[in-house]
Amino acid sequence: MPNQLNGVDIVSSLPSKLPRAILFDLDDTIIEFHALAAPAWDAAISGIKDELQGFSPIQVRDAIDRVSVTWWADPERHRLGRLDLARTRRQNVSTALRELGLIDDDLVDRIVKDFEQRRFAGLRLFPGALKTLEYFHEAGVRLGLVTNGDGAGQRAKIERFDLARFFDCIVIEGEFGVGKPDERVFKYALSQLGVDTGDAWMVGDNPSWEITPAQRIGLQGIWVDVHGTGLSAHDGHHPDRIIRQISELLDTLPPKSQVGST
DSSP symbol at 200 = E
| Cα(226)–Cα(186) distance, integer angstroms | 22
213 and 240 part of one domain: yes
The residue type found at 119 is R
Q: How many domains does the chain have?
A: 2
Helix axis angle, 105-122 to 37-46, nearest 10°:
140
- At 206 the three-state DSSP class reads coil
State the CATH number of the domain containing residue 210.
3.40.50.1000
214 and 104 part of one domain: no
Range(s) of the domain holding residue 107: 34-122
Is-above-0.85 flag for pTM?
Answer: yes
The residue type found at 164 is A
Determine which of 90-94, 107-111, 164-168, 248-252 has the lowest per-residue pLDDT on average. Answer: 248-252
pLDDT score of 17 more than 90: no
12 and 139 part of one domain: yes
Q: How confident is the model at residue 138 (pLDDT cuts 50, 70, 90)?
A: very high
Averaged over 132-143, what is the pLDDT?
97
Among 96, 122, 148, the domain-final residue is 122
16 and 85 part of one domain: no
DSSP symbol at 177 = S
Among 106, 122, 138, the domain-final residue is 122
130 and 183 part of one domain: yes
β-pairing, 220-224 vs 200-204, is parallel
Cis peptide upstream of residue 181 (ω within 30 degrees of 0): yes
DSSP symbol at 209 = I
Averaged over 207-217, what is the pLDDT?
96
Among 61, 88, 122, the domain-final residue is 122
| Cα(231)–Cα(23) distance, integer angstroms | 22
236 and 137 part of one domain: yes
Give the model's pLDDT for residue 10. Answer: 45
pLDDT score of 221 more than 70: yes
Q: How confident is the model at residue 226 (pLDDT cuts 50, 70, 90)?
A: very high
